[in-house]
Chain A
């Protein structure tokens, strides 16, 4: 099978059926053992499910890497209020394209994960907030949920267990900031997608003012497998602190870009050279952004040392994020790449917090001026200082995401900036 590219290094748990259109059909999913984990979860009871996920060490796949079982255990017991499970399917981080594939190839895997998650936290209603631009994905999901309702896998008295859990697919309207969990909740409620001040945290006051838990698509997609096989089984992959497998979205100057499910702790260079078939045209590696555009960029030397797990990335001064590996070869124009990322963030800033609203647009203006050959060396100092003013001073972390690529690129690729400033020479061509 040739879902765009596959590799022998892969451990395909959640991506097993990528590229197989039959998997979308409920009948096929059930034939292949689907919804058995849900039945098992109902038998185990909510606490045992939370314990199993805790035992697996599964960490949130949306970027922050917070232990999922621990997050679930934050939900109040006997609050007397409705609880909500929300699946964050607003995948918008530049460089990321894993949730889309999980939803369009294997929607029932996600639905089953949502049902188990909802069951674990005492929720009778799960929302899947799907990115607005994912038209096909939204249709696939909506169809799958409809089928599951008809066959009794969702809705009243699921599988004759007496448990009622509804699932609603909510199509977003196309804003990056609605992928921030509290911005998502506002959007879900029909308000402007503005991130909320925390505390209160979603487990206390979430969607519609009720205790809520929000998990990434990939996180919930793994849950049925963990419930089916047990937490220890999941720990056979990955590292002690970062157990399990992870989908890596590799893009950029490699021969075989794509989604690869690999055990955490996989070396970055091995990913590029062996899994992805090496650099495009055999060019030299210049830089890698390992976790989506909001994490610091690393150079070739750091890439050589980088292990792809939560801790390994921090060791080389970056973050695993959502494991969206953007690879740049020697022809890449780093200044232009950074400017484009900052343009994106400036466009997507919700505009609440001053440092982000004004700072992101200002950063983009300065970078554009430098790119046009009208920059000065003081601009670099200004950029370093003013982006520092954007770190940790806002409601959400979008502002920090502007600072990360700017600061890391000025530190590591200062010569590229200086070439533009001093001689108007653009380094690279892409």
Chain B
């Protein structure tokens, strides 16, 4: 690597690699120069003219997004000149902007609002009638409000440079310029177009799914991991009233950049499912009764203890986090060992994002298949996640099901088992013969980690409150393991993760702190800060 360049931004010395832009260099010291057209994942047309900064010696203000740093350069982003330029440009934006913030979906997270409040003029000088473009359905999930558009062309460039499917363009020129689609179908049939809503700096492109659903300031943002395939895209769950309202991508250059696919983006309603198991259920002699956790677990342990030597079979789910799967593996091993199988759906093809080669919607449609395999679990059944459980269904020893809803299984599933424990989020017809039906949480309600297709362990955080008495499976199963072995109970997901080493050595030596918000690849040396 060549020598770093040292320059001064707002009076502070900054050292960055050669070729860095002023805007990116400023970011490294926490100075965000306002900008619209610039996006780190795409080319920079330098056309919004908002990131103009004062560079000593330059005859004109320079666009920070394309001007690269030079040795000894002196940049001022907050000088009177720079502020005046931004104030001027912001005024031009407002000449035709409808200022319909009160009914705009973007209000509260709008870059135009933010910049004008921070640096714009207090009063508009525009007296002329505003330009009207009206609304257009771009197809797919996207509605276009032409009047709000700031003509940054991020959406056009996303479709042409990142998705590489030229569906959008600018038509006309000058102040008549407007974004439009080429064909009648618009964005229909593209797989990544939801991202143009995220990168739109204003409310010009909005999601039909989210339209008028919630105000931005009412949403709680929780970092999470997408569960729609094994890519492990970093996302945020935006929740209100204990319901997921939408999914937004979270930047992680190692996994998904700034993007997520439309399938993952819209696959959240299941997290809001209302018909959930809310209390442990014990079934004895044909009756079934809701019981407390303590009673359920101690009765379960007594029963298991009385079955010393019985063979164990278990069904797991690749939608369960590493912590849950590790606890299940420990339980099965503690009971004398046995086969753990899982089923997961596979798509025929991957859907790559051409402009960001690391990212694709993977054919493996579960988030934690790698994790399950690390715990020695075996995939069975068909590519639509059915079948493959014949020998399990008729097992006569101890049978544990965790996370698989068994939707395709008959009612007599596990009827012959000596002890059948079903841990799930939803009741199932195939749990009719379960001795204990125990309510567990979804990943959206708990904390934990998934291991993605390349072996990257990534954390997610709780976004929703669990219904009733549902508890994380690592806690429930971990309590059973601890009780049987006399060991310590994991009280936190981080502890549960720390205890995975014995059943899956790959996880040994990694802690939640190592994983952080970016993830850590197993079997790779973890670089610690300062090394």
How far does the Cβ of B73 sit from chain A's closest Cβ, in whole Å? 15
Residues of chain B lying within 8 A (CB to CB) of residue A395: 46-47
Residues of chain A lying within 8 A (CB to CB) of residue B127: 366, 369
Cross-chain contact of B95 among A362, A392, A394 (Cβ < 8 A): A362
Residue A36, interface by CB 8 Å: no
Residue B527, interface by CB 8 Å: no
Let me know if A393 and B85 touch, CB within 8 A: yes
Let me know if A366 and B128 touch, CB within 8 A: yes
Least CB separation from A364: chain B residue: B175
Let me know if A197 and B46 touch, CB within 8 A: yes
Let me know if A352 and B45 touch, CB within 8 A: yes
Let me know if A357 and B45 touch, CB within 8 A: no
Which of B58-66, B270-278, B341-349 participates in binding chain A?
B58-66
Report Cα–Cα, A346/B172, bound state, in Å. 12
Let me know if A358 and B92 touch, CB within 8 A: yes
Cross-chain contact of B47 among A354, A358, A360, A361 (Cβ < 8 A): A354
Let me know if A355 and B49 touch, CB within 8 A: yes
Residue A365, interface by CB 8 Å: yes
Residue A349, interface by CB 8 Å: yes
Residue A353, interface by CB 8 Å: yes
Residues of chain A lying within 8 A (CB to CB) of residue B468: none
Residues of chain A lying within 8 A (CB to CB) of residue B84: 389
Let me know if A358 and B93 touch, CB within 8 A: yes
Report Cα–Cα, A351/B176, bound state, in Å. 8
- Chain B window 91-128, contacts with chain A (Cβ cutoff 8 Å), 1 for yes, 0 for no: 11101100000000000000000000000000001111
Report Cα–Cα, A354/B131, bound state, in Å. 15
Specify which of B45, B96, B151, B175 lies most central, judged by the most chain A CB atoms within 10 Å of its CB: B175
Let me know if B174 and A393 touch, CB within 8 A: no
Least CB separation from B45: chain A residue: A352
Let me know if B46 and A393 touch, CB within 8 A: no
Let me know if A352 and B47 touch, CB within 8 A: yes
Report Cα–Cα, A366/B89, bound state, in Å. 18
Let me know if A353 and B128 touch, CB within 8 A: no
| Total A residues in contact with B, Cβ cutoff 8 Å | 32
Let me know if A362 and B128 touch, CB within 8 A: yes
Known contacts A359-B92, A393-B88, A393-B89: A349-B47 contact under CB 8 Å: no
Let me know if B151 and A357 touch, CB within 8 A: yes
Residue B407, interface by CB 8 Å: no
Tell me the interface secondary structure of chain B in the complex: loop
Residue B421, interface by CB 8 Å: no
Let me know if B174 and A365 touch, CB within 8 A: no
Residue B173, interface by CB 8 Å: yes
How far does the Cβ of A238 sit from chain B's closest Cβ, in whole Å? 28
Residues of chain B lying within 8 A (CB to CB) of residue A197: 44-46, 63, 66
How far does the Cβ of A400 sit from chain B's closest Cβ, in whole Å? 10
Residue B155, interface by CB 8 Å: no
Let me know if B49 and A351 touch, CB within 8 A: no
Least CB separation from B126: chain A residue: A362
Residue B267, interface by CB 8 Å: no
Residue B79, interface by CB 8 Å: no
Let me know if B47 and A353 touch, CB within 8 A: yes
Residue A416, interface by CB 8 Å: no
Report Cα–Cα, A394/B60, bound state, in Å. 10
Let me know if B92 and A354 touch, CB within 8 A: yes
Let me know if A365 and B128 touch, CB within 8 A: yes
Residues from 365 to 381 in A contacting B, C-beta threshold 8 Å: 365-366, 369
Specify which of B50, B52, B89, B176 lies most central, judged by the most chain A CB atoms within 10 Å of its CB: B89
Report Cα–Cα, A194/B89, bound state, in Å. 19
Residues of B within 8 A of A (CB): 44-50, 52, 59-61, 63, 66, 84-85, 88-89, 91-93, 95-96, 125-128, 131, 150-151, 170, 172-177
Residue pairs across A and B with Cβ atoms less than 8 A apart, 17 shown, are: A351-B151, A351-B175, A351-B176, A352-B47, A354-B151, A355-B92, A358-B93, A359-B95, A360-B174, A360-B175, A362-B128, A365-B128, A366-B127, A386-B125, A389-B92, A393-B49, A394-B49
A-B interface, 4 closest residue pairs, ranked by CB to CB distance from nearest: A389-B88, A361-B175, A351-B177, A349-B174
